[in-house]
Structure 1
Amino acid sequence: MIFEDKKKKIYISAKKIEIGKDVSFVNNIDIKVKGTFSIGDRSRLGTDVVIRGNNVKIGEDLFHSYGLRIGGGGSMHPNANITIGNRCTIHNNFLNACEPIIIGNDVGLSEDVAIITHGYWLSVLEGQPAKFSGVTISDGVIIGYRTIIMMGVTIGRNVVIGANSVVTKNLAENSIYAGNPAKLLRKIEPISKEKRPEKVKEVLAEYKKISDYHGINPKINFEYPKVYVNNCVFNVETLECEGEEDLETDDFRDYVRKWGFRFYTKRPFRSVWDWNSF
């Protein structure tokens, strides 16, 4: 199958192509997959994308900015399978698709992050190393700027990895790691129920500064765990929202996601601020 938009320089070739609803392809996208290429509803591939592999499956609500490369050496192998879950954010990353890479839901790859699934050089008969092994990244992981994830690693749920780290071993869930090689800094403990309302109030106070700067004045009320913005209700515990969305609720969602309150709807994250108006 072929999907092509010559004007935007988009070319996708695969045995099977599955493109969800409201998917956005920006430009300069070159995808060649032997098996299945799929991308879920409301996902976005930005600019300068090159993808090679056996099967590449991307979930819903992906945000990609620019400069993605999936493939490299071994991308023509049968194990060159890439799976990216729902609600992930990626940038100018390199995913080496020699062995399987499984990325869960709600995962963020900061700029210049690389995931490596094989390494070799001189002859193994001379005692030189050669390793081929996949990588698994569980739900809720954020990987910092210019970090490298080495072959054979499994990263547990809700892990934070600091910038410029090199991950060579499995990482336990709900923990913060950093360094070369990455080492445990501390475990992550949830804030107590008593302190949670105050933390939300702090976030809302910060958003008031942003909304003033943006020249808007949404009507906001708070009764834990619900935040009422105009005619929309946001539950900070369940990350669910209901009601009537508008440009001001979009602006609110776009800001509070920076505090981990990631409310996904059928509308994109966007600020009312528009640099194109300058």
Structure 2
Amino acid sequence: MKQTLLLAATAVGLSAGIAQAEFAVGGWVNLEYEDQYGDYRKTLRGDVLATYGTQGGLTFGVGLRGDLEDSGDTSGFERRRGGVYGLVSFGDGISSFGEVTVSYGDIWGAGNLFPEEYFGFDDTTSTDDDTLRVDLKFGNHQIAFSNDFNGVNADWEFGYRGRFGAYAVAVGYENDSEDLGILIGRKLNDQFAVHLAIVEDLDESEDAADHQGISLIYTPNDRFTLGLNAARYNEGFHSAGVLVSYTTDRVILKAEYVKFHDDDDDQFEFGVVIPFGRTQPAHDARFTFTDYTGFGLF
């Protein structure tokens, strides 16, 4: 899961806008503070993507990701991960299957489902290995496959997100850890939505653990969002959490608090996201903060 809470534009992936313009640059920067179990850390993350698109719908892109962390026991920020990636996107005018995007480099696997701030839910797809990923988008559906090249095990992943009537659905599977994640969102009315999150550990080892949670999302306007969550871990009640975000004309402010039941501990996070430019990285089209409204998958 270890990825920042992203802005609304990030969730739509590689938008049609970059195919219309010949050249575009954009991305996001996030500064975040986290205090968990009495230990704190600060993280500075960012992603910048430059794209060149033809009128026929072919787009080339080169991006750079950075992920720095200061855990308090070092002299300052240290590199945790990050690197260069590239992509080629074939628009509807080229591909008869829909929009196809091929990415390679320091990117997230297709099975990565949760942002870091989703109430303590975890993904296992964060990797330091270069990853090859293919995304196919058609209508209200997006399918992705990926494989990282660690030279040891086949670490392929699968991801899907789409809409079925009143429901938004996201699915992620990671082969190496045998983790299956499912997210289902439904908009109840113009202000309220509900989310069901499920993580099933299918490897049947002693360390296998299943995680389920339900969230109520309140969005009274385009700027403010409040989320309340209750979750269980294996067979017992695990945590309760609250998440708040406020969007200004230039930045997104976000905060999350989670109270853990088993060890009577808690976690607090606060962050600022600064988007810029006219395009956003396609590989970050995950179940991000815009999905708290119920329908932010694209």
TM-score, length of structure 2 as denominator length: 0.27
Instruction: Kindly name which structure, 1 or 2, has the bigger radius of gyration based on alpha carbons.
Output: 1
- Select the structure that is richer in helix: 1
The structure in which a higher percent of residues are strand is 2
Bigger RCO (CA 8 Å, 6+ sep): 2
